[in-house]
Amino acid sequence: LAGMAPATLHDWRTWIVRPLLGTRRAALRDMLRHRDIRWIEDPTNVDVRFERPRMRASLAQGEGERRLAEALARSAQAARERHDIGRRAAMLIDAFASRPVPGLIRLDRDFAGHEDGQAAVYVLRILLATVGGMSFLADEARCAELLSRMQLGSLCATLSRTVVDARRTGIFLRRESRNLPVPAPPADNWLWDNRRRITLKDGQGDLVIAPLGPAAAGKAPFSEDVPQSLSRAALAAEPALWSGGKHLDFAGGDAGPQSVSIVPAVAPFARFL
């Protein structure tokens, strides 16, 4: 009722579980009374200076039970709708999205004109936030407008720190090159640029994590299915391992030391899922 989820995963490590969210206070009191456990009231529960007790008092009067039941029904319906659009969005991502190189997402051109426009907008919001490393989804109205423009032809735009490059061969999303993290020693469970999760396996020595950069990106192997300029730009914004000014490896590579693991993170859900 307070916007809480029954279970939340924090930092991909700790579960916060609330098994009693759907249990009424009266039922909890009865359960404790049968076990001879005294109920301890939170003083703020009856302090009308706070909104929560004022709402409880209001619902306890007149048709409060009916209004509460209606509110719970609306909440349940909203949850079902969120689940449904999430399912449809997952189907679109599976059907239309790919990752030709680390840091670059490609959507088929047909994605922009898909008949399920609501789910397509939701997909675009999620992907823009994920590629750009943003904790909040991109604005819905701006994403809907951007999707409409994609149907008209080629375009290049930036939203949520993500460059959107729509071409004849596909719709490409990559992290813009501005405001990337400065070089720093790796830290365990570090969320680098809100896009990559760093895990230390052993002592990191003199390793530093910094963006790969254009020079090193230009030497990386490329996919023939993607314009090299897009591959270079995407790779340049990826985290790389450096030691003594020498480039060792980048996220998605396999030549670097195994003391550090760099894996993708889904920014909108990286802290709380």
pLDDT tens per residue, range 239-271: 988 887 777 765 544 444 557 788 888 888 877
User: What is the share, in percent, of the chain residues with pLDDT greater than 90?
Assistant: 44
Same domain, 260 and 195: yes
Query: Does residue 75 fall inside a structural domain?
Result: no
Same domain, 157 and 230: no
Same domain, 43 and 106: no
> Where among 121, 148, 175 does a domain terminate?
175
Interior angle at CA 145, CA 142 and CA 147, nearest 5: 110
Query: Does residue 181 fall inside a structural domain?
Result: no
Query: Does residue 182 fall inside a structural domain?
Result: no
Residue tagged 């994609």 (tokens) = 150
Which structural domain range is residue 26 located in?
7-61
Query: Does residue 72 fall inside a structural domain?
Result: no
CA distance 129 to 13: 22
Q: Is the pLDDT of residue 1 over 50?
A: no
Model pLDDT for residues 60-69, shown as the tens digit of each residue: 776 767 877 7
Same domain, 28 and 91: no
User: What is the DSSP code (8-state) at residue 87?
Assistant: H
User: What is the DSSP code (8-state) at residue 111?
Assistant: G
Same domain, 207 and 166: no
Model pLDDT for residues 88-145, shown as the tens digit of each residue: 999 999 999 999 999 999 999 999 999 999 999 999 999 999 999 999 999 999 999 9
Model pLDDT for residues 217-243, shown as the tens digit of each residue: 888 777 778 888 999 999 999 998 888
Same domain, 113 and 154: yes
Query: Does residue 141 fall inside a structural domain?
Result: yes
Query: Does residue 70 fall inside a structural domain?
Result: no
Long-range contacts of 247-253 (CB under 8 A, 24+ apart): 247/212, 247/216, 248/207, 250/102, 250/212, 250/216, 250/220, 251/102, 251/103, 251/196, 252/101, 252/102
Structure tokens that stand for 220 in this block = 């990386």
Cβ neighbour number for residue 168 with a 10 Å cutoff: 7
Query: Does residue 67 fall inside a structural domain?
Result: no
Number of domains observed in the structure of the chain: 3
Same domain, 26 and 91: no
CA distance 85 to 103: 25
